[in-house]
Structure 1
Amino acid sequence: MADWHRFNVTNGDVDLATFSYGTPGESTPDKPVVLLVHGWPDTHHLWDLVAPRLAEHFRVYAYDTRGFGDSTRPVAVESYRLDALAQDMLAVCHAVNPDGKTHIVAHDWGSVQAWETVTTAGADDVIASFTSVSGPNLDYLGEWARAKMARPTPRGVAQALSQVASSAYTAFFQVPGASDLFFRTFGSDRVWTEFLHLVEGTPRENARFGPTLREDMISGLKLYRANIRGKLANPEPRPTRVPVLEVVNDRDIALRPAIYERTHTHADRLWRKRTATGHWLPYTNPGYLADTAIEFIETIAGGAPVSPNTIDRARVDGPARELIGKLAVVTGAGSGIGRETAYALADLGAELVLADIDLDSAEETAIACKAKGVPATAYRLDVSDTDAVTRFADDVRAAHGVADIVVNNAGVALAGSALAASDEQVDRLLAINLRGVISGSRAFGRQMAERGVGGHIVNLASAAAFTLSRDLGLYSASKAGVLMFSESLRAELAEHRVGVTAICPGIVHTNITANTEYAGAADESAAREKVDKFYQKRNFTPDRVARDIVAAIAKNKAVVPVTPEAEFGYRVYRFFPWAARIGARQKIAG
């Protein structure tokens, strides 16, 4: 167990077992005070793996909320109402930091209690900041649900039904006899440890429970019975002036991300971070949670700046855009599909790191992204230089943090005879199109896997990867390599919750067509002009590809043929390969 030292705080007839972390009597009056609040069915031991990291920066305290651990267990259900729990929290804040403001980090029902506390009149005189993990404001939740039903849309109804399904267990918790018996029978350390490991991959050794787990499970059910029906039926949302960071977990088994979309209407100062993590973040990803809390608290407290700063991009100033708080890297961002993808990601609120071999064009894209209200930084990068790609990934991590989204888009084209192409042409093609994608995926993929909270890699392949053509053999080989590599990498990174998508556009008019080399062509300029005019007439623009890229990230798709001819070619090659081979004999350029 962690280095906790107990004392008691009294609020009325309830004694709250309160704990300081570290050496008793250690004098650190200059450090900010942080109070950690657990949820159901945990105790202060939920924070055993988070507290040591926080204690390097802050004075750290935790307590067992009423009904849990070594604190008083009231019998009456009404004793667990949120207003009483908020008074408990304020009493602990006054006890651990009587002359200053306390930073709250809270999880699950601890976060629900903290929401009640920070929306209590005068809370901003006592609480300096609130990091909310997997626990909504129940009044805001009720308001959200009523709005979805009052003005139903297909998307809104789907969101509401998804949350109802995720919260179905709470109906069972409302039945005292059945739910109490269930946890009296199955509420053991071993069963709960295996449950957490099964539902979100929590390392078994990370699950930290006190000796009162079974009793905590049963008495903690009164939280549900005392609060949920009343709050959801008659929500009374109140504002807060306390700075709030919402840590939203996309894989939360109990809470869907959509339920937080109205928080900005009540919180004056709101930040949001969203990752592919599960409900029990303090157990499963304690290092990430600790670092996130440290950065936020240091930002609010005005202490030593944490580098790199990832909090600034998480600020919510209005309706939260889908990718707020995310960092996206796009190569080949100076034009075409890369530039339009950068614009699409900027529209969704992501911070952009934009790389191109032509730095001026990348700068132009960055300026346009900044005009959309997001940070954007341009870098010069030659993706054919493997060492340069590795240095670039390291530089991005040092200056901006670990990327959440990486789009390996940079590429060139080579058409004509494979036999007539020079070795230099072949080497350049493969170095940029294939090795560049592999290098970028490996460099950024390692960082994502090490961080442990997911991410997404998008690799630009092509319909040429599965559409056979005598004039595109070398180009097709490079893009088929991208496709197969992406599919394989997706399997490798799945355990790290990192998605990988291969995007396969067909005939899209970009500046690549105007710069394509035609090996063995009698008149290369004429061949290039002919194909470029055809692509112009086809008029499938890069912004349409960018929309599919963004959708693929959101839905974690594996392979996305973009244009109609790409979708047709994908199916022909899979189901009628003989027809694809016959079609490949037709020449597309002179």
Structure 2
Amino acid sequence: MVDWRMQRVNNGGVSLAVFEVAGSATSADDRHRPTVLLVHGWPDTHHLWTHVAPALAADNHVVAYDCRGFGQSDRPDGDAAYRLEALADDLFAVADAVSPDRPVHVIGHDWGSVQAWEAVTRPGAEDRIASFVSVSGPNLDQLGTWARQKLRRPTPRNLGHAAAQVGSSAYTVFFQLPVLPRMFFGVAGSAAVWREFLHRVEGTPRDRVIVGDTLRQDMVSGLRLYRANIRAKLIDPRTRSTLVPTLELVNERDIALRPAIFDDTYQYAQRLWRRSTPTGHWLPYTNPDHLVRSASDFIATQAARSTPDIAARMDRTRVFGAPHALSGKLAVITGAGSGIGRETAFALAEQGCELVVADIDLTRADETARQSKALGAQATAYEVDVADVEAVTEFATRVRDRHGTPDLVVNNAGIGLAGGALAATDDQVDRLLDVNLRGVISGSRAFGRQMVERGIGGHIVNVASAAAFTPQRSLGLYAASKAGVLLFSESLRAELGEHRIGVSAICPGIVDTNIVGATPIAGLQADDEDAERRRLDGLYRRRGFTPDRVARAIVDAIVHNKAVVPVTPEAAIGYRIYRFAPWLSRIAARRKVTG
């Protein structure tokens, strides 16, 4: 538990209970450390920050307060006392009391973020607020403008976004009714019920939800926030911009707020950073470590205390325009020196990702990184042989230590082997399976463990092949390696689903890459093997399906969390034949393709 030290701050006759973490950089020698002001929402109190405040207090002077109407603060009568203007006045009053000489760094959650938006958009706010971390709480004026714009341009996409948010916000209509919500929370507003609700909605461990003795009162009193502000702001939005550096933590699984409502924030914040993760609404309870890491990095950067690694992490989340679906995410790609891997790097660079590109040929990986930087992405190249399990493990550790845990991993590195299974050498078989199958397993395991430990989800893409479900007499060994990738990916998806980690198997058919030119053909003499490779390479080139199209399918699979993606037309057809008429696949498999 946190050792809170309480004081009182008065604002316009309203007494606010303000809590300072005891020993959190409060000595005279430590006053140079930033003051971090934590602002809660409904129906919480300062107890919301129980798992966040101690970690922040290691490097900061940490203060929280019970907003008016909650906890140990006064509960003025009437709805007018709970308008955002009054709440912003409270925030400034607390800031002046706890840090009179220096601006504070604000972290707001839910209605705490909503009222902080009101504060940071006031003229001159940047003189008193050094930075703002917004969690699950929009600027209501911006939200009203966003809704109006969607309805003025009633495209299917706009209407879909608006309808999704209306559905998520339906509870606010009930909250504004005069009698029923008071009666409801008067009966159901117990700590046990609240803990069970958060556990069922977000999977929050019940013992992590810390509430005060005033929870039932807070639920009822806090309803005034909804009645005093929502209708007025949505009917007559008056958007204003802010000069305060702002980090927006977007929770993709937020029960109340759809991610799309934050897409226009960049228009109102001159300096905006954004981090989007598959997390839920009550981040301070459910994923406090993620909130602490994100806020600490941001505050350190704004307070000029960041290291080069922190600065690099923050750079990738900086927003200069409308965000992409994968903006700010860290992506690792193996086999990135050419073909599908290189094009995937370019596609993710265009999405605003930071890239870690790996290949057995460092020169080619460097070239991919250089071209990705030309697209505006941060990119770092590494040399890795994915067939070496120890090397993959060391690579994953280096990535975590230097860049952080990746959000996306694309296990793309692969080699080919054609010809008869009986004609192949043991060395050829071992190398094929070590790269194509064991390499994918090693990468998935090493980075998957990191994602699970971090606790905020992620996505793993394993590049298989249409050969995984189209048996061929001339590609039996290659097909076996890729079938292993496919079934491993499906199984891993089931295993990691509870951790919000998606797994996709990408299954291209005939794609014009350089893999054919390097593919051994077992059972042929050297001259015949060269001639056969040239013939197959020409066939692939004439097919004309380029790797950039596979890269687009990979991005789509990540965004929409697809399980199995047959990419080319022949792959899609082969997948369905193998599922619904496998005897046709067996007949086709007898045809000799090579040799």
Q: Which TM-score bucket, shorter chain as reference?
A: over 0.9
Deviation of 1:516 (Å): 1.2
SS in 2 for 1:377: strand
Structure 2 counterpart of 1:530: 535
Once residues 539 and 293 of structure 2 are traced to their aligned partners in structure 1, the CA distance between those partners, rounded to angstroms, is 53
Residue 294 (structure 1) aligns with: 296
Q: Name the residue aligned to 1:8.
A: 8
- Whether 2:456 is the aligned partner of 1:459: answer no
Matched, 1:368 2:391: no
**Candidates 519, 524, 534, aligned match of 2:522:** 519
Structure 1 unaligned spans of 5+ = none
Please name the residue that 1:379 is paired with. 382
Alignment partner for residue 249 of structure 2, among 223, 227, 247? Answer: 247
Alignment of 1:395-544 (within 5 A): 395-521=398-524, 523-544=528-549
Contact between 1:104 and 1:127, CA under 8 Å: does it hold in 2?
Answer: yes
Shift of 1:325: 1.6
Q: Is the CA contact (8 Å cut-off) linking 2:386 and 2:413 kept in structure 1?
A: yes
Q: Which range moved further: 1-10 or 49-58?
A: 1-10
From 277, 284, 287, the equivalent of 1:285 is: 287
How many Å separate the matches in 1 of 2:164 and 2:552?
A: 25
1:26 CA drift (Å): 4.1
What is the CA deviation profile of residues 131-176 of structure 1, one whole-angstrom value per residue up to 9, with x for unaligned ones? Answer: 0000000111111111111122221211111111111111111112
Instruction: Indicate which of 145, 158, 178 corresponds to 2:147.
Output: 145
- Provide the C-alpha distance between the structure 1 equivalents of 2:328 and 2:572, rounded to a whole number of angstroms: 33
Equivalent-residue separation in structure 2 for 1:267 and 1:18 (angstroms): 29
Given candidates 338, 342, 345, the residue that maps to 2:345 is 342
Q: CA deviation at 1:322?
A: 2.5
* Cα separation, 1, equivalents of 2:363 and 2:108: 46
Q: How many aligned residue pairs are there? A: 590
Correspondence for 2:550: 545
Tell whether the 8 Å contact from 1:47 to 1:282 is kept in structure 2 after alignment: yes
Encode CA deviations 1:54-93: one digit per residue, 9 max, x unaligned.
0000000000000100111112011110000000000000
- In the other structure, the counterpart of 2:278 is 276
Amino acid at match of 2:95: C
CA contact (8 A) 2:297 2:306 kept: no
The 5 Å alignment of 1:171-182 reads 171-182=173-184
Code of the residue aligned with 2:11 in structure 1: it is N
Residues 86 and 114, structure 1, Cα contact 8 Å, conserved in 2: yes
SS of the residue corresponding to residue 389 of structure 1 reads helix
Letter in 2 for 1:333: A
Tell me, in whole angstroms, the C-alpha distance in 1 between the residues paired with 2:511 and 2:186: 63
Alignment of 1:53-132 (within 5 A): 53-132=55-134
Specify the SS of the correspondent of 1:35: strand
CA distance in 1, matches of 2:309, 2:378: 16
Identity %: 63
Q: For 2:499, give the aligned amino acid.
A: H
Provide, for residues 264-315 of structure 1, a one-character-per-residue CA deviation record: whole Å limited to 9, x for no partner: 1111111001111000000001111111111100100012527454111111
**In the alignment, which residue of structure 2 is the partner of 1:19?**
19
Structure 2 counterpart of 1:575, from 569, 574, 580: 580
Using the alignment, how far apart are the partners of 2:418 and 2:541 within structure 1?
Answer: 18
The answer on 1:562 being equivalent to 2:567 is: yes
Distance 1:6 1:388 in 2: 53
Cα pair 1:298 1:306 within 8 Å, conserved: no
**Alignment check: 8 A CA contact 1:130 1:243 kept:** yes
**Is 2:237 the counterpart of 1:235?**
yes
Give the Cα–Cα distance (whole angstroms) in 1 for the partners of residues 154 and 64 of structure 2. 42
Contact 1:509 1:540 in 2 (8 A): yes
State the distance in 1 between where 2:540 and 2:35 align: 62
Unaligned runs of 5+ in 2: none
| 1:586 alignment counterpart | 591
Partner Cα separation in structure 1 for residue 492 and residue 306 of structure 2: 39
Work out whether residues 20 and 61 of structure 1, in 8 Å CA contact, stay in contact via their aligned partners in 2.
Answer: yes
Who is 1:391 aligned against?
394
Separation in 2, partners of 1:489, 1:302: 42
SS of the counterpart of 1:106?
A: strand
> Please, which of 190, 193, 197 is the counterpart of residue 192 of structure 2?
190
Q: Contact 2:120–2:244 at 8 Å: present in 1 too?
A: yes
Which amino acid is 1:540 matched to?
F
The equivalent of 2:334 in structure 1 is: 331
* Normalised TM-score (structure 2): 0.98
Q: Which amino acid aligns with 1:235?
A: P
In structure 2, the partner of 1:352 is 355
> Where do 4+ consecutive residues of structure 1 move more than 3 Å?
23-27, 306-309
Contact 2:251 2:281 in 1 (8 A): yes
